[in-house]
Amino acid sequence: MSIESIPFFRPSIGEDEIAAVTECLRSGWLTTGPKTAAFEKAFSDFLGGGVEAVAVNSATAALHLGLEALGVGPGDEVIVPTLTFTATAEVVRYLGAQPVLVDIDATTLCIDPGRIEAAITQRTKALMPVHFAGRMCDMTTLKAIADKHSLRILDDAAHALPAHHQGVTVGKAGADVTAFSFYANKTMTTGEGGMLVTADPAIAARARTMRLHGIDRDVFNRFTDPRAGWVYDVVAPGFKYNLADIASALGLVQLQRAESFGRIRAGRVARYDAAFSDLPLILPPKPADGDGHSWHLYIVQLAQDAPIGRDDFILTLKEQGIGTSVHYRPLHQMTVWKPFCEGATFPQADLVFSRCVTLPLFMAMTDAEQDRVIAVVRGVLGGRS
Ligand SMILES: *Cc1c(COP(=O)(O)O)cnc(C)c1O
């Protein structure tokens, strides 16, 4: 008997996205240009305005440009949670600075604010909180710590669109710079892409210059402003991080759907939570009171009394055609990051990693697909059907 397989993630690309990309392809302008300018404007508007949005070709690029614009360099230290994707720490190394890993709070899965001050030294320049799975970090407390120690905040919001802290949208919730991801399996996608958001015009200007080779004006202006024309200066050894209009055309449509995508995911989460309430599972942490969660990922942890370990649980689901993932193996366990945390221990992240698994959650998921995931999980964990 063949079983229907359910992927961990499937993007939601509709006819509007296909039409928008086709129109861009037919327009004759493929690289950074009018679609990207419109996408940046729409993104800033989506966040309620008052910030500049700088489109780039990944969140990794946005994180890199954000730290660069904050002036992080050799000898500096940047505080990063150990439970994150490697990109969060890797960009610190791009600039020759040192990532300092901090353990998470096992109940929120975000960096533990109570452990940050012990990690701050004379060299600490910035904090990089990650809104894990789309659940906002306690930005009020993080901002108070940053202000007390004169640190900047660059938040990794790769999971967190849309989300808010105490009614204030991510991107304006206390960070100096915020990085969003439009990678294929994020909450909205441009295939590959990212956005740097800041209210500081100097940071935005530096990021705009550095995203395109250190050229002092955008490609679009360079090719459309008849006076500027071929005259441009290069003011720094920049990077090649600009976003193509093909991607921005897709992003413009996806952004219009971002709120409804969020509501769909929240509905699926409520359905999972209800279906799993009697199982030996630790369900994903709810947002703090007054916060809004993007529900990018649905991460459960197998409780101590579960009849099966995490690794076998994943294999069993796979045998039954259900895709899962693990977010994440903590950075301190990775070869490249071990030398940066000698002597330190991260018991909370180790515990979460030993028992966590991410279940399928995506906008295009049908009730029937979710019911099958639920039935298999209940079957494996001994729930009454
Ligand atoms: C996906 C992700 C990134 C990197 O995003 P890209 O757009 O692929 O560069 C960074 N941090 C976290 C937490 C992520 O999940």
User: In angstroms, rounded to a whole number, what is the distance separating the alpha carbons of residues 110 and 88?
Assistant: 13
Q: Residue 1's pLDDT is what?
A: 42
User: Residue 211's closest CA among 363, 352, 52, 103?
Assistant: 52
Q: Is the pLDDT of residue 384 over 70?
A: no
Q: Is 132 in the pocket of ligand 1 (CB under 6 A)?
A: no
Q: Residue 143's pLDDT is what?
A: 98
| Residue bearing the CA closest to ligand 1, atom 14 | 158
**276 close to 283: Cβ distance less than 8 angstroms:** yes
Q: Is the pLDDT of residue 218 over 90?
A: no
**161 close to 59: Cβ distance less than 8 angstroms:** no
Q: Is 59 in the pocket of ligand 1 (CB under 6 A)?
A: yes
Distance from Cα 230 to the centre of ligand 1, integer Å: 35
Catalytic residues: 186
Distance from Cα 62 to the centre of ligand 1, integer Å: 10
Q: Residue 347's pLDDT is what?
A: 98
Give every CB contact of residue 279 below 8 A, 6+ residues apart in sequence.
Answer: 377, 378, 381, 382, 383
| Per-residue confidence band for 331, with pLDDT thresholds at 50, 70 and 90 | very high
Query: What are the residues facing 181 on neighbouring strands?
Result: 194
Q: What is the best residue among 9, 60, 241 to mutate for testing ligand 1's pocket, by most ligand atoms within 8 Å of CB?
A: 60
Helices (H), the chain: 15-27, 34-46, 59-69, 86-94, 139-148, 201-210, 219-224, 245-276, 310-319, 347-355, 367-380
182 CA closest ligand 1 atom index = 7
Residue percentage of the chain with pLDDT more than 70: 95
Distance from Cα 379 to the centre of ligand 1, integer Å: 33
If you average pLDDT over every residue of the chain, what do you get?
95
Q: Is the pLDDT of residue 3 over 90?
A: no
Q: Residue 229's pLDDT is what?
A: 61
Q: What is the pLDDT of residues 38-83, one digit of tens each?
A: 999 999 999 999 999 999 999 999 999 999 999 999 999 999 999 9
Q: What is the best residue among 58, 65, 85 to mutate for testing ligand 1's pocket, by most ligand atoms within 8 Å of CB?
A: 85
Give every CB contact of residue 227 below 8 A, 6+ residues apart in sequence.
Answer: none
Q: Which of 161-165, 169-173, 213-217 has the least mean pLDDT?
A: 213-217
Q: Is 158 in the pocket of ligand 1 (CB under 6 A)?
A: yes
Distance from Cα 84 to the centre of ligand 1, integer Å: 9
DSSP calls for 49-84: SSSEEEEES-HHHHHHHHHHHTT--TT-EEEEESSS
User: In angstroms, rounded to a whole number, what is the distance separating the alpha carbons of residues 3 and 346?
Assistant: 40
User: Residue 358's closest CA among 288, 269, 277?
Assistant: 269
| Per-residue confidence band for 221, with pLDDT thresholds at 50, 70 and 90 | low
Residue 190 amino acid letter: T
Distance from Cα 325 to the centre of ligand 1, integer Å: 15
296 CA closest ligand 1 atom index = 15
Q: Which two tokens stand for residue 286?
A: 């709810």
Q: What is the pLDDT of residues 231-253, one digit of tens each?
A: 788 999 999 999 999 999 999 99
Q: Is 328 in the pocket of ligand 1 (CB under 6 A)?
A: no
CA torsion through residues 34, 40, 42, 48, sign: negative
Distance from Cα 307 to the centre of ligand 1, integer Å: 33
**54 close to 201: Cβ distance less than 8 angstroms:** no
pTM of the model: 0.96
87 CA closest ligand 1 atom index = 10
| Residue bearing the CA closest to ligand 1, atom 2 | 158
Q: Is 188 in the pocket of ligand 1 (CB under 6 A)?
A: no
Distance from Cα 158 to the centre of ligand 1, integer Å: 5
Q: Is the pLDDT of residue 313 over 90?
A: yes
Q: Is 88 in the pocket of ligand 1 (CB under 6 A)?
A: yes
**173 close to 25: Cβ distance less than 8 angstroms:** no
Give every CB contact of residue 186 below 8 A, 6+ residues apart in sequence.
Answer: 158, 159, 161, 296
| Residue bearing the CA closest to ligand 1, atom 1 | 158
Q: What is the pLDDT of residues 22-35, one digit of tens each?
A: 999 999 999 999 99
Q: What is the pLDDT of residues 278-306, one digit of tens each?
A: 999 999 999 999 999 999 999 999 999 99
Q: Residue 216's pLDDT is what?
A: 84
Q: Residue 232's pLDDT is what?
A: 83
